[in-house]
Amino acid sequence: MSDPEFKAGFAVILGRPSAGKSTLLNALLKSKLSIVSPKPQTTRHRILGILDGPGYQLCLVDTPGLIREPKDPLQNSLRRQAMGAAHEDPDVMVLLVEPHPPDEATLREFSHLARQGKPIILVLNKIDLPAQPGLHDEVIRAYSEILKPAAALRLCALKGEGVNALLAEILKHIPLSPPFYEPGQYTDRFERFFAAEIIREQVFNLYEEEIPHATAVVIERFQEVAGSEDQISAILYVERDSQKGIIIGARGRALRELQERSLQAITDFLGRPAYLDIWIKVRKNWRKDPRALKEFGYLT
């Protein structure tokens, strides 16, 4: 018999690139689901994380950053994904901001969230960073005047400080409902999706300048083999031949390191052994090509 007091609902996490949205999702789930990097625009997809607790099921949606001025069709797609998540009737919106005063353009852009008619929890992240006295109060006050949030909290997602208080606040806005997913299901994505994301994360960690943003990863084969290693083959696309050379490195050393780190992270994620091949291909200007964006899963 179902529990009439059970709660289930959706909370969407929004914010600028590098605000710490993916780190917050992982902290709330107490496990790593979204890839993270100090570089902006790491997250390119909406990612659902499912948190089962006593008497509730909370569905948390990580989103790409709200890019102020998209420079290409890929960035337009990322912005649309984030905006779309805010409009898909979540029960509560969690707006993550950094500890510096917002400019007028940001306040105007975020003001539309207040018009959605959904409760907003304003979250000031990175409170561990050095700050002038009174800065945190100033930032919260500036956003609160526009957003009229249901609550304003401070935390450090990276260290997990304040995360439990945020979870308690989110649950106040989650309605009575049966669960949407089976107990123990932690996401709606397939393992091959996370294999591609893990490889992208390692690209962000290992390479600099334009390389991480110019890469896309497609899993060509993901085959589970009973009693043996999963067989995974990935294609890493770049936009120019020079980028391909940087990915491979002298005598293939850079590519070998990418492959080794990616394989270790994938096997840790899967909890079982795997074999990984990564092939590098050039797809010129793919970030501006709607056909490539659709092929790579960034456009529907």
The predicted-structure confidence for 263-284, as pLDDT tens digits, reads as follows 999 999 999 999 999 999 999 9
Share of the chain above pLDDT 90, in %: 80
pTM of this structure: 0.91
Report residue 109's pLDDT band, with 50, 70 and 90 as the boundaries: confident
> What average pLDDT score do residues 60-89 get?
88
Sign of the CA dihedral running 280, 78, 297, 21: positive
Q: Residue 219 has what pLDDT? A: 98
Residue 300 has pLDDT above 70, yes or no: yes
Residue 118: C-alpha distances to residues 88, 114, 121, 164 (Å):
11, 7, 10, 22
pLDDT score of 71 more than 90: no
Asked whether this chain's domains 7-171 and 191-295 adopt the same fold, the reply is: no
Boundaries of every domain in the chain: 7-171, 191-295
So what's the pLDDT on residue 132? 86
Residues 6+ apart with CB under 8 A from 239: 214, 282, 283, 284, 285, 286, 287
Higher pLDDT residue, 15 or 4?
A: 15
* Residue 1 pLDDT: 46
Mean pLDDT, residues 136-164: 96
In this prediction, residue 160 carries a pLDDT of 96
Instruction: State the pLDDT at residue 272.
Output: 94
* Separation between Cα atoms, residue 213 and residue 287, nearest integer Å: 9
Per-residue pLDDT reduced to its tens digit, 185-228: 999 999 999 999 999 999 999 999 889 999 999 999 999 988 89
Pick the CATH number of 7-171 from 3.40.50.2300, 3.30.420.40, 3.40.50.300, 3.40.640.10: 3.40.50.300
Percent of the chain with pLDDT over 70: 99
How far the first Cα of the chain sits from its last, in Å, is: 39
Q: Which CATH class is domain 191-295?
A: alpha beta
Please say whether the beta carbons of 287 and 239 come within 8 A.
yes
Please give the average per-residue pLDDT across 237-256, as a whole number.
Answer: 97
